Structure 1
Amino acid sequence: MKQFFKNLFGGETAVLESLAAIGVDMHSHILPGLDDGSDTLERSLELVQAMQQLGYRKLIMTPHIMSDFYRNTPEGIREKLELLRNAIAEAGIEMELGCAAEYYLDEMFLDKLDNNEELLTFGDKYLLFETSFLNEPLNLREAIFKMRSKGYKPVMAHPERYSYFYGKFDDLVALRAQGVLLQPNLNSLTGYYSPAAKNVAEKLIDNGLVDLVGSDVHSLKHVGSLQRVLSTKYVSKLLNLPLLNPQL
């Protein structure tokens, strides 16, 4: 459903009532006590309820895994998933919950690939990864090759936020041509992170290069910004793309 309001130039701008058309969020930090996201079970419950109010029916939560800060394991992540599932059932909150992980592209990640360790994926072996925001990893192409050779489908988290791509949009186009799925954050459409990130996110949408979208919710502040996404002109353009989210 869309509502309309008069904009400053006399025309009408569509305002979505919810994000129900996306339905499934595949990138968040809602599981309690694992990373820089939710720190308590109570806060996780608040976040799940807030995401439900935005129209989501399923949350695939993706704690950070990185060698320097968050050495999470599949077992530990699943344990927190069950804890949260039990808590929302007791609270009467209807939401399907799943988990994967957001892997930082470092040597530990490459070792896990080389050693065939279990990696948490979602959907059709989609593997979410991130890199440094400032510097392109020297082993980026090597890591992508290894992920694909192991049967994973690499998903680059928030590509619009990596400053090393600024002014190099063709590099993102080339990565996608090499089989990397691109997942911008919804909040980039409001300029939440930076004007540059907003510009790249819009350009990805304009060129039909978005495969998945994520909330990247860490806190209620992020949820508040998601509400502002509903009134951006690019959210309607985004929803006209063949996003994978509803199929997850």
Structure 2
Amino acid sequence: MFSFFQKKIFLKDYLDGFIDIHNHVLPGIDDGASDVDTSISLLYDYQKLGIRKIIATPHVMNDYYANTPKSIRRAYDLLMTKLNTLDDLNIEIKTAAEYMMDQDFMALIEKKELLCLKEDMVLVEMSYFQPPINLNEILFQLQTQQYKPILAHPERYAFLHSNSLRNYKELKDRGCLFQLNALSLVGHYGKNMKDIAYRLLEEKMIDFIGTDTHQARHLEKLSTASISSKKAEILRPIIDNTKKTFVF
């Protein structure tokens, strides 16, 4: 019998075995987990979702979160010291970073001190209010130094939403890969972000997906969220590509 209602699918059913390439689970170094115990609690939540491999991406953001490979490694070591004592928590963690394309970023590129998600793939972000005035120069310099920029949560930059996705197409033409936030798909950041997220998926402009988890409520929302079967069809290839690309 024909039904006017699309079957709802739980998003968590697609996350079993997923590799999360964008999150803030390392303790005490940005606006994510505040301490080791909070990090461990988040890791238990990940395990409940079936996610057992994580690439931690703390912010590197000028004066706000002036993280370095050394500070990130220190936070990782603190977390691993605790994690290795817990027999019921089976999570593998690697480290990278999420870089704000600010005035200090060019110097990091020139020094080739970027922590990449994989080989030459580096996660970058912009202000939500406006792009950096030297965006073209930053992207050119990244590529000159043989880096591949992955723009985090492109759907969240409201200044890109106009012009029938032309702004996004220009960034793609400049060599940017796009990483969608899973929370955008369930309306966590608002209807506009959700609508753009699905438009980008429908236009096959999204390359990867991550959770951008900062706190427990983010994973809780993902554990209970549902999407239509039609939307699940266009999401599955992105999840599969993320797993295949970043497998470890």
Task: Give matches, 1:55-66, under 5 Å.
Answer: 55-66=50-61
Matched residues, percent identical? 33
Say whether 1:13 aligns with 2:36.
no
The one-letter amino acid of 1:104's match is M
Tell me the TM-score normalized by structure 2: 0.90
User: How far 1:11 moved relative to its partner?
Assistant: 4.4
Say whether 1:24 aligns with 2:19.
yes
Which residue does the alignment assign to 1:239? Answer: 236
CA deviation profile, 1:3-40 (whole Å, cap 9, x unmatched): xxxxx944433335534456100100000000010001
Count of residue correspondences: 239
Which residue does the alignment assign to 2:217? Answer: 221
Say whether 1:44 aligns with 2:42.
no
Query: For the residues of structure 2 that align with 1:45 and 1:56, how far apart are their CA atoms?
Result: 14
Which residue does the alignment assign to 2:197? Answer: 201
Of residues 145, 159, 165, the one that matches 2:154 is 159
Query: For the residues of structure 2 that align with 1:11 and 1:220, how far apart are their CA atoms?
Result: 30
User: How far 1:247 moved relative to its partner?
Assistant: 3.0
Larger RCO, structures 1/2 (Cα 8 Å, 6+ apart): 2
User: How far 1:57 moved relative to its partner?
Assistant: 2.1
Give the CA RMSD over aligned residues: 1.7
**Consecutive unaligned residues in structure 2, runs of 5 or more:** none
Query: For the residues of structure 1 that align with 2:5 and 2:142, how far apart are their CA atoms?
Result: 50
Tell me the TM-score normalized by structure 1: 0.90
User: How far 1:181 moved relative to its partner?
Assistant: 0.6
SS class of match (1:232): strand
Query: For the residues of structure 1 that align with 2:24 and 2:53, how far apart are their CA atoms?
Result: 14
User: How far 1:184 moved relative to its partner?
Assistant: 1.1
Query: For the residues of structure 1 that align with 2:181 and 2:11, how far apart are their CA atoms?
Result: 17
Query: For the residues of structure 2 that align with 1:112 and 1:15, how far apart are their CA atoms?
Result: 41
The one-letter amino acid of 1:205's match is L
